[in-house]
Amino acid sequence: MNVIPAIDLRGGHVVRLRQGDYAAETIYPASPAETAFAYAAAGASALHVVDLDAARAGAFANLPAIEAIVQSVRMPVQAGGGVRSDADLEALFRIGVARCVVGSMAVRHPEVVLEWIARHGAARICIALDVRGDSDGVFRPAAAGWTEAGAATLFELLATYSDAAPGLTLLCTDIACDGMLSGPNLALYARIRAMYPQFALLASGGIRDAEDLRALRALGCSGAIVGRALLDSPAAMPALIAC
């Protein structure tokens, strides 16, 4: 299982949100490129970058910072936030992003995203579904930087993508866990793995330590996106990334 450090960008800074709340933001002092270089030095083999401003507003706001990250490290960078059109995809590919992460469009317009997958290949597209569970345990994907709820349930939407391409990468985040260091939603990932084993599943949200990573590996997750646990404990970076 690949441990992939996350770099969330807002206003050109590296930040973390708590449960997707833009008002509950922690800003980290290192620049995006410095943060990427630190992850590379700690042994990371890939990075996950999100333009949070673009995710909410729908227009790239941190493209120069993403390009600086790509140029500062010799490893694949997957990036997203605000990808709404062919031009957005091309803009990310043009600056060297290896895989585009598509969130709101994957929720609102799966037919368009399926066409992107057919055109660019499953290896170049990651569908990112950030979900909230209700009191009945039903998860619904969010859109627009977690500010809107989609109409379909998570598993209804997964059925739409299930036959798109072998090995399509699915990034699923339980928003209730995100930024909380409370542990990942193992039951949710176990259910996804049982129902849709064809996805290359990336887990995200709440990951605290090596024990959480081992639990996700045991479920068959292909990777884990780790943010706050690495940013808040720089000394632990090499050990966690090596898990």
The residues annotated as belonging to the active site are 8, 130
Contact call for residues 178 and 206 (beta carbons, < 8 A)? yes
Q: In the chain, which ranges are E strands?
A: 2-10, 13-18, 21-28, 47-51, 77-80, 99-102, 125-133, 139-143, 148-149, 169-174, 200-204, 223-226
Q: Which helix (H) or strand (E) holds 191?
A: helix 186-195
Cα separation of 12 and 63, whole Å?
9
Closest by alpha carbon to 6, among 239, 235, 243, 232?
A: 232
Cα separation of 85 and 109, whole Å?
11
Contact call for residues 178 and 17 (beta carbons, < 8 A)? yes
Cα separation of 5 and 72, whole Å?
15
Tokens of residue 205, six digits? 């949200």
Cα separation of 138 and 208, whole Å?
25
C-alpha distance from residue 65 to each of 74, 93, 126, 177 (Å): 16, 14, 20, 26
